[in-house]
Amino acid sequence: MSTNNDVAVLGVGMHAWGKWGQPFVKYGVAAARAALTDSGIDWQDVDLIVGGETVRNGYGGYVAGATFAQALGWNGARVATSYAACATGAQALDTARARILAGLSDVALVVGADTTPKGFLAPNAGERWDDPDWLRFRLMGMANPAYFALNARRRIDLYGATPEDFAAVKVKNAKHGLNNPYARYRKEVDVAAVLASPVVADPLHLLDICATSDGGAAVLLTSMEYARKKGIANPVRIKAISTVTPTFPQTIMDMPNFSTESASAVPAPELTFKESIGHAAYEEAGISPKDIDVAEVYDLATAIELDWMEDLGLCKRGEAERLLRAGDTTIGGRIPVNPSGGLACFGEAVPAQALAQVCELTWQLRGQAEGRQVEGARIGITANQGLFGHGSSVIAAA
């Protein structure tokens, strides 16, 4: 693999996920300071800070880049803020990487943090008829779990998946998260417990669906030259960041939209949107799915993890359940998925979660994921999908 477009990950840090009731800045600053400590770099040497912004239901959130810069202590660094719904952290990371590769920055700190409301995300007050996210609540009453359930039902109809398969994803991820000190939920469950939890949107139960959480994550990137000057010859490197948008027509429903585009006049693209996210990352990194040792994917609901395994090419279409049942996706299996515990154990802290995945890959590739280590991991991939055509995949290598 070429190192021409590599950037170094010299520091990562997180604030534990939970419901802490504090301002999001507190979590972001804690994660940022942890990343700085991990890197051994002083805050005064950071020349760029990129913040992940929280936006819900079409409303702008916080000017996160400058907010974090001020909270850490004004040091004159350049600043940027990114928003891409659940892909926000990866887009912020890409902004930092681009400036480093352009020679405009040497040391960039990327931070995302969130304080979430209780329960499933719901619309804010007001009328916004041009906002598809607001419209799906107003016209159809569809909170996120309804979409998750439609995707799950699709897997049942197409591939013979069962509610027991979905529950087994939760069981696996709960076991993975037991030894993750940043996870909100650190308790084993069994299939029976998942199936006994209340049905939220058939066929999904409460324990199939991730919570909304408070939390923060941060990643410190540098140029490879800067890393060498610091005496770090072989840091974890970012090999690719994909932030592609969909290609018309989209023939598979994607949240928050509730209709699909017809392929009667224009042929459907070769790849679906989610398939194209991973494909672009592989192409940029110059690798294939066969090279991946560990994956952190977007498991807002258990069935969605199974979708992502196929979308990323980790197995053929319709084979995810078979890999799950064989134990291939657990730690110690052929391709461990979500060794961190995933959103099943963390919950959503929207601007932070794509960065949290990169933190986990970094610990895995360094061999520092104590209690959940994927032995011999050298290359890892992440995947996220956000509202409004946002998606991301990050490939990191040791």
260 found inside a domain: yes
Residue 159 pLDDT level (bands cut at 50, 70, 90): very high
> Quick check: 102 pLDDT over 50?
yes
**Is 0.85 topped by the overall pTM?**
yes
Question: Span 44-68, mean pLDDT?
Answer: 78
Please indicate, yes or no, whether residues 164 and 47 belong to a single structural domain of this protein.
no
Same domain, 224 and 189: no
Which two structure tokens, joined as six digits, stand for 226? Answer: 């800067």
Can you give the pLDDT at residue 369? Answer: 98
The answer as to whether 126 is a domain residue is no
Same domain, residue pair 68 and 35: yes
Structure tokens at 36: 């700085």
Residue 64: is its pLDDT beyond 50? yes
Q: Is residue 108 part of a domain?
A: yes
**Between 19 and 1, residue with greater pLDDT:** 19
- Determine the average pLDDT of the residues in 28-43: 98
Q: Residues 396, 374: contact at Cβ < 8 Å? A: no
Residue 125 within any structural domain of the chain: no
Question: Is 277's pLDDT higher than 80?
Answer: yes
| DSSP class of 269 | P
Write the CB contacts of 254 (distance below 8 Å, at least 6 apart in sequence).
246, 273, 385
* Domain contains 2: no
Whole-angstrom distance, CA of residue 239 vs CA of residue 159: 33
Classify the phi-psi angles of 331: left when phi > 0, otherwise alpha if psi is within -120 to 50, otherwise beta.
Answer: beta
335 and 324 both lie in a single domain: yes
Q: What is the dihedral of CA 31, 35, 41, 45, to 10 degrees?
A: -50
| Sign of the torsion formed by the C-alpha atoms of 344, 313, 244 and 303 | negative
Residues 265, 270, 272, 273, CA torsion sign:
negative
User: Is the model's pLDDT at 59 over the cut of 70?
Assistant: no
Q: What is the pLDDT of residue 3?
A: 47
- CA–CA separation, 321 and 395 (whole Å): 24
Percent of the chain scoring above 90 in pLDDT = 83
124: in domain: no
User: What pLDDT is recorded for position 133?
Assistant: 85
Q: Which domain holds residue 270?
A: 132-208+238-397
Number of domains in the chain: 2
Which residues lie across from 13 on neighbouring strands?
A: 218
Long-range contacts (CB closer than 8 Å, 24 or more residues apart) made by 154-160: 155/303, 155/306, 155/307, 155/321, 156/203, 158/318, 159/318, 159/320, 159/321, 160/321
CA distance linking residue 156 with residue 323, whole number of Å: 16
Assess whether 231 and 105 both reside in one domain: yes
Give me the pLDDT at residue 208, please. Answer: 98
pLDDT score at 259: 79
Residue 12 DSSP SS3? strand
**159 with 304, same domain?**
yes
Which of 114, 127, 84 has the alpha carbon at shortest distance from 343? Answer: 114
Of the given ranges (60-64, 223-227, 309-313, 338-342), which has the lowest mean pLDDT? 60-64
Burial 236-274 (b: 16+ CB within 10 A, else e): bbbbbbbbbebeebbeeebbbbbeeeeeeeeeebeebbb
For residues 24 and 83, state if they share a domain.
yes
pLDDT of 89 above 90:
yes
Q: Do 114 and 202 belong to one domain? A: no
| 162 lies in the same domain as 30 | no
Q: Average of pLDDT values for 79-87? A: 93
Q: pLDDT for 287-300, tens place per residue?
A: 999 999 999 999 99
Cα separation of 137 and 125, whole Å? 11
79-93, 194-208, 245-259: range with lowest mean pLDDT: 245-259
pLDDT at 57: 43
- What's the length of the chain? 398
Same domain, 97 and 181: no
Same domain, 286 and 317: yes
pLDDT higher than 70, residue 1: no
Query: Do the domain assignments include residue 339?
Result: yes
The pLDDT of residue 257 is 81
Range 56-74 burial, b when 16+ CB lie within 10 A, else e: bbbeebbebbebbbeebee
Give yes or no: residues 188 and 335 share one domain. yes
Q: How far is CA 249 from CA 158, 192, 383, in A?
A: 21, 40, 22
Which CATH number characterizes residue 369's domain? 3.40.47.10
**Span between the terminal Cα atoms of the chain, in Å:** 12
- 363: in domain: yes
Q: What is the mean pLDDT of residues 328-342?
A: 98
At residue 61 the predicted structure's pLDDT band, cuts being 50, 70 and 90, is low
